[in-house]
């Protein structure tokens, strides 16, 4: 077996994982945004269009930042 496929013991965790709260990713608007970004990325790769790829990646980063702000706001309220 290749060395990087072997199971290694995980270590270095410094705190309990009970504090992490996961919620369902069933937000339809989020999936629509991700679908649009993926479509743009695939089109950019197919056309070898760097500007379109750059725009798609920027839209993806904005989406992640928006989701992060929503999560931060939700955590502040609870």
Per-residue pLDDT tens digits for 2-23: 556 666 555 555 555 555 555 5
Joined together, the tokens standing for residue 37 give 């970004």
Q: 């702000």: which residue's tokens? A: 69
pTM for this prediction: 0.58
Instruction: List the domain boundaries for the chain.
Output: 26-78
36: how many CB neighbours lie within 10 A of its CB?
A: 14
What is the per-residue pLDDT across 28-49, written as a single tens digit (0 to 9) for each? 777 888 999 999 999 999 999 9
């Amino acid at each position: 077996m290749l060395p990087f496929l072997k199971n290694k013991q995980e270590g270095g965790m410094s705190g309990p994982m009970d504090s992490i709260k996961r919620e369902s990713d069933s937000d339809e608007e989020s999936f629509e945004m991700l679908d649009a970004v993926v479509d743009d990325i695939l089109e950019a790769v197919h056309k070898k269009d760097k500007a379109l790829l750059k725009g798609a990646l920027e839209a993806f980063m904005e989406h992640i930042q928006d989701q992060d702000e929503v999560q931060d706001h939700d955590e502040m309220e609870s």
